[in-house]
Structure 1
């Protein structure tokens, strides 16, 4: 609860763990470390460039935060924040468990990567909408096949230097994405009118 360790390297043949230094999201959060790590890592997205020693890291379900960095030996270097809407939380009554994200805060993204690009499929759901759904008050925009909270259409495309290159909108919405290595096709899962899964294929659109 006091150390700022974020990542460890696992050496598979021996099972040895090594701390990775010099990484800590600079979001201004000054409450217990365990709370911060809980929020960031319980739904983390971590992807590696197919050939370079460069990584993407961000929250999958909280806020809209993502950054890239290089790994040199056991150190994180060359960090660049791509999306900077950090998760916003306070510890709960027990002093540790997180609670209290504001209603307006978005709930993350899903990701697919190639050698050239990073594809972030943004969530359509805010924390306020999530709370409304738990109360049985589902907003109309989440009703119907292929429109539930897990489905989305907006993709932000970054290069591996962290530059935003394209914004894509898929029709129909999909629940997740995968991109071919040559960036020519995007695949996603949507739903039929009978709520059955349907595989969609989107041709190169930029």
Structure 2
């Protein structure tokens, strides 16, 4: 008996089993074909069942708990809310960011970034802020997901500047993780954001801005 077989035998004994199949050489196959496995049963929730008001309330609570600054505004007031947060700042916006969300004074000052004409990291690092939209937000975990669509831009622009202003259309909010990933194309470059970038040192002291923006402003557009 090999050392591996002895270890497995002890495990089986502890589990109350009588025997263990001897180990096979690497690459060998069992004599009898195992039955094909079907889809695993989904024994988990796939829908939160929450209405729009409850979803917004839960998402706001989670984001604020993560130290994000959150405001819920009508869609017609998104531009004004963004202007308040970016007043006097040099910022980057993805090429596909909705024009109606930037008032003319901000649009003139926006530094544009696209996959065809990407800004250098050094240039991004010199900017004060970034403004993007978002693909999906998961209320239960307080997670905002960017998927690299034109209104969200390249991953780099949401990670390098120190201040991120993110617009969350209310129709993109879901309750739980399975709902969120059901709406996403997982082959896209996904960025998951749960509050400002933060970590804790060995004494559990919170440090912000370690691997992304230290300030996160979320504007929920209803």
When normalised by structure 2's length, the TM-score is 0.20
Structure that is richer in helix per residue: 2
Larger Rg: 2
